């Protein structure tokens, strides 16, 4: 159940990022627009790929990559807000989503890492 909830939140996050980035300046299409889309999509793609791996060490590695992509996404959201590509409401909503995903993802990483120590 936890897996489906986290995956669903990641899916909502990436779709939200795609939606808000449609309003970014056209001059940023191959810059920050492309980068924020790839980073946010990488969050869920690495999570899904890691979840499909049978070896726990490999699974944790993909989860950590997913977490890193989430942090990259958060910085890009901050950058876009400071550059006025993003309004405060969308910025706050996206950060709230990212923080919730981050907490769930980190909890998953910690639990799986504990299994490695045994």
What is the per-residue pLDDT across 72-104, written as a single tens digit (0 to 9) for each?
999 999 999 999 999 999 999 999 999 999 999
CA distance 106 to 11: 17
Q: 2-117 in CATH: which number?
A: 1.20.1440.60
CA distance 75 to 60: 23
Average pLDDT, the chain: 95
How much is the pTM? 0.93
Provide CB contacts within 8 A for 11, sequence distance 6+: 44
Domain boundaries, the chain: 2-117
pLDDT by residue (tens digit) across 32-44? 999 999 999 999 9
């Amino acid at each position: 159940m936890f897996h489906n909830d986290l995956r669903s939140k990641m899916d909502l996050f990436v779709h939200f990022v795609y939606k808000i980035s449609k309003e970014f300046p056209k001059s940023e299409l191959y810059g920050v627009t492309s980068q924020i889309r790839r980073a946010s999509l990488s969050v869920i793609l690495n999570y899904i790929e890691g979840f499909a791996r049978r070896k726990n060490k490999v699974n944790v590695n993909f989860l950590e990559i997913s977490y890193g992509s989430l942090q990259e996404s958060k910085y890009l959201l901050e950058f876009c807000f400071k550059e006025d590509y993003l309004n405060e409401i969308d910025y706050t909503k996206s950060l709230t989503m990212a923080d919730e995903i981050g907490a769930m993802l980190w909890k998953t990483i910690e639990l799986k890492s504990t299994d490695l120590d045994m």
